Structure 1
């Protein structure tokens, strides 16, 4: 459990330092570069994992869902800026984007705080089912452009 806490703290500090080190005048990406799924799994792979590994995968998938899915009307690709989309790069638009990112980060942090306390009590099979469901949802991001008629 100490390892998980250490990993979560490290992720938090890396995220915080990245946000504060950005050039405030540069147009920021709508979706952060570091938010992605490293690997998708099948049920057999997940069955072989211990609950701690499953919890880490679950949390990684929640982060992607929280930070990407609400923005797919703009883009589903990391690094795309408001300027790239033809949105005027004004102070108000940059502030709105920063507030949106902060709200997503705050929500994610609060969710993870809850999940790390409660999720270990979940049934392993339910955890596996949730991971597979999230992964199926996230795989659909790869086919998103098929729905865009432009």
Structure 2
């Protein structure tokens, strides 16, 4: 019985050390990879017509409104760099210095904090909004997001 317990203990510690070694490799790899300028949710599931929105409940409209805010907060502040996820500082020729990487990480964290506090506020106050105003805002946000597809038209070659 003591032999089985010792053998089980040894196998357990070997497995734990192997797992820890794998974790270190993953962490090291993540540190060497360039971080995307745009992260988080960056697309919406569907664009809607006014008629479709008119047929929805206020709860459904609130969910759509929040989804659109999430996408806008993740994309719009960064469109001078990219309009889609996956673009890194390395792709743009930005030196990946410690200061630049920290600035990007701080920006992503600030965007997350802003979104979280905005949504906390929206969930408390937005239900009091007029349904027609909510629908107009969703349509406006969707038009703004659709316009991102034409962003490159504004660039000079």
How does the TM-score come out when normalised to structure 1? Answer: 0.83
Structure 2 counterpart of 1:13: none
Distance 1:64 1:49 in 2: 21
Contact 1:33 1:79 in 2 (8 A): no
Bigger Rg, which one? 2
* Deviation digits for residues 83-118 of structure 1 (CA, Å, limit 9, x no counterpart): 000101111111100000000110000000000000
Q: Which ranges of structure 2 fall in alignment gaps of 5 or more residues?
A: 1-26
Match of residue 64, structure 2, among 57, 73, 84? 57
Matched, 1:38 2:45: yes
Give SS of 1:53's match.
Answer: helix
Structure 2 counterpart of 1:18: none
Contact 2:41 2:71 in 1 (8 A): no
Following TM superposition, by how much is the alpha carbon of 1:35 offset from its aligned partner in structure 2, in angstroms?
2.0
Distance 2:40 2:116 in 1: 18
Contact 2:44 2:67 in 1 (8 A): yes
Aligned structure 1 segments of 4 or more residues deviating by more than 2 angstroms: none
Q: Cα RMSD (Å) of the superposition? A: 1.4
Following TM superposition, by how much is the alpha carbon of 1:23 offset from its aligned partner in structure 2, in angstroms?
1.7
Structure 2 counterpart of 1:3: none
Distance 1:31 1:38 in 2: 18
Structure 2 counterpart of 1:4: none
Q: Which ranges of structure 1 fall in alignment gaps of 5 or more residues?
A: 1-20
* Number of residue-to-residue matches in the alignment: 130
How does the TM-score come out when normalised to structure 2? Answer: 0.79
Distance 2:41 2:78 in 1: 15
Match of residue 126, structure 1, among 121, 133, 150? 133
Give SS of 2:30's match.
Answer: coil
More helix, by proportion: 2
Contact 1:46 1:54 in 2 (8 A): yes
Match of residue 29, structure 1, among 25, 32, 36? 36
Contact 1:74 1:85 in 2 (8 A): yes
Contact 1:31 1:80 in 2 (8 A): yes
**Pair 1:109–1:33, CA change in 2 (3 A):** closer
Matched, 1:99 2:94: no
